[in-house]
Amino acid sequence: MFTQETIERLRSVQTPYYYYDTDMLRETLAVASGEAANKGFKVHYAVKANFNPVIMKIIAGYGLGADCVSSNEIEHAISCGFPAEETVFAGVGKSDREIETALRLGIKCFNVESAAELEVIDGIAGRMGKTASVALRINPNVEAHTIRHITTGTDENKFGIRIVELESVISTLNELNNIKYRGIHFHIGSQITDLHVFRNLSSRINELWQWLTDRGMEPDDINVGGGLGVNYDDPDRFPPFADYFDIFREHLDNRIRSSVSFELGRSLTANCGSLISTVLFVKPGAGETFLILDAGMTDLMRPALYHAYHRIENLTSKLPAKKYTVAGPICETTDTFGRFISLPETGRGDLIAIRSAGAYGEVMASRYNMRSLPPSVFSDEIN
């Protein structure tokens, strides 16, 4: 990803910033969309992972739909080239204004989380003279074996309709005049690297499909959500798209005639992005040496928020390795990117890359300490 020539060019840009390797993004998209198409699956891009317009336009060019969680995301996705009729709207708390916007723009489907939400959408659609297509987001109570903070599909989470409530939600749905039932939706968590989890999800989907079909509610579409993890230790390795899609092809009941769709975020954009930063100070501590960067948790929040690991590389030193604690300039102790990390001996002015930051990086940046939001730089601009 970083040739000597690229590093020279990166040096001339004011840090901190996000650097995106657009060739890597395109390769990832080609593999993911090719593997999905081979198996007859449809992929929506989970816009929340990265809504940078340059990235979004590239992704739209591969024919993906969009998975949005706010009306701002819907408007933005459409303006970046995603078709409204391939855009779905998920989220546990959609406001009336957002529902109106989505109906006005003619999106494909609302992923609905409760009977109360169905009634609200029905009322708004009725007033607007429209019919709203919906999928029921079911909480399948399947453990995702990932970071607890990003698990979404078990009984202790706020997301989805619990299986025990399904019967009553369906009877509400069947009484509403401005709602069209399209199918069912799941999303059990993110950064899932144990692919067996998706086998368990497939089994649960088979049971639910049978249960719904027995009640005359066979879904037209089954949306299995996102969650495919990336290898944060090895940022240049592609996520295992083929194995992932194979699991669903093999384990979903072959009597199912519904279309099957996915909502991938992290696996499409994480690898292509790095946060580029300069070392401001090398500061001795008690039993450790701090590298103080000009990038902090305001630029990349994941390590501070979830103790998430990102590989850190020194792009400009080739000296023998030493151990460092890599921290940012923010007035918070959690503003640390990694402790006791092995890096070539590092000095003030060295250029640091924090890898696999293309998903849930730039989009989660904040202005805490009145910092500027990090800008973005693209490989095809500088190479």
Residue numbers of the site for ligand LLP (CB under 6 A)? 46, 48-49, 67, 90, 150, 187, 190-191, 225-228, 263-267, 302, 360
CA dist., res. 155 & res. 294, Å (int): 41
State the minimum distance, in angstroms, from the CB of residue 269 to ligand LLP: 8
The dihedral sign for the CA sequence 98, 104, 107, 108: positive
Selection from 97, 197, 94, 192 nearest residue 137 by Cα? 94
Which residue number, 225 or 358, has a Cβ lying nearer to ligand LLP? 225
State the minimum distance, in angstroms, from the CB of residue 305 to ligand LLP: 7
Residue 16 preceded by cis peptide, ω within 30: yes
Class of residue 114 by CB neighbours under 10 A (exposed 0-12, middle 13-18, buried 19+): middle
Which residue number, 279 or 330, has a Cβ lying nearer to ligand LLP? 330
248, 249, 250, 251: CA torsion to nearest 10: 40
Which residue number, 159 or 209, has a Cβ lying nearer to ligand LLP? 159
Which residue number, 90 or 115, has a Cβ lying nearer to ligand LLP? 90
Please state, in angstroms and as integers, the Cα–Cα distance from residue 27 to each residue in 134, 238, 270, following that order. 33, 9, 13
CA dist., res. 227 & res. 229, Å (int): 6
Which residue number, 56 or 150, has a Cβ lying nearer to ligand LLP? 150
State the minimum distance, in angstroms, from the CB of residue 70 to ligand LLP: 12
State the minimum distance, in angstroms, from the CB of residue 91 to ligand LLP: 8
Residue in the block written with tokens 């399948």: 140
State the minimum distance, in angstroms, from the CB of residue 345 to ligand LLP: 31
